[in-house]
Structure 1
Amino acid sequence: MDIRPIKTEADYDWALQEIAVYFEHEPAEGTEAAARFDVLSALIEYYERRHWSIDSPADPVDVIQFFMEQNGFTQADLARLLGSRSRASEILNRRRRLTMEQVSMLHRSWKIPAQALLPPVSVAA
């Protein structure tokens, strides 16, 4: 697994390029590619928190709701995208978290930055 620490902006740019492929072709759970995605996500999150700390990252549901409001989308539009009215309701009511497949779908279809849809990762400094 080709992974390295992110210590510089060049390392950070490399990591972003490496992870981008997984948003186009989501790896299957339990594969080495899925593990690599998880590790890259954690490394990127850790680097971003240390270098561009934001006190309170946006909640993924807030991001979706803001996007829907700004673009005139309804819960029915989200349900069509996710394939289920109940799933859309569960997500918008915070009873269910987004899966990586749903993050990827929202990123591809609505062009919402995938990182804005990922839950905050707790990394001890």
Structure 2
Amino acid sequence: MDIHPIRTKADYAASLAAVSLLVDADPAPGTPEGDALDILTILIERYEAEHFPLAAPSPVEAIKFRMEQAGLSVPDMQPYIGNSNRVYEVLAGKRALSLAMIRRLHEGLHIPAEILIGTA
């Protein structure tokens, strides 16, 4: 298998097709096929990071995502944000997060602080 940097859309498409075949074959780690899969995966990830960057979520989107992930409701958020009115205001974007809220959300729900601050 000829492995080279992914520079074009055609290279990207060919690499995706090669990875698909390798994944279906399920090669053992340390074999030539397993090494090819590892290398192609790294190259694809690098190409995608450069050509299809993902924007960081807003603090409210991150909180809603974590709530959905963990099956949390508004009452469950009160220890992190405050009374239910305050939770609704934050989730509606009508109230900014305070530093104390950011700390509690980060420590309790493991939401990255840089996302909650809005610097990511």
TM-score (norm 2): 0.51
Aligned-CA RMSD value: 2.0
User: 1:102-121 to 2 correspondence within 5 Å?
Assistant: 102-120=101-119
Using the alignment, how far apart are the partners of 1:67 and 1:96 within structure 2? 19
- The CA deviation at 1:88 is 0.4
- The runs of 5 or more residues in structure 2 that have no matched partner are 1-49
Higher helix share: 2
Stretches of 4+ aligned residues off by more than 6 angstroms: none
1:93/1:76 Cα in 2 relative to 1: closer, same or farther (>3 Å)? same
The count of aligned residue pairs is: 69
Task: Say which structure, 1 or 2, has more relative contact order (CA 8 Å, 6+ apart).
Answer: 1
Q: Residue by residue, what CA displacement relative to the aligned partner does 1:2-47 show, whole Å, maximum 9, x if unpaired?
A: xxxxxxxxxxxxxxxxxxxxxxxxxxxxxxxxxxxxxxxxxxxxxx
Using the alignment, how far apart are the partners of 2:56 and 2:111 within structure 1? 15
Using the alignment, how far apart are the partners of 1:120 and 1:107 within structure 2? 14
Letter in 1 for 2:55: S
Letter in 2 for 1:110: L
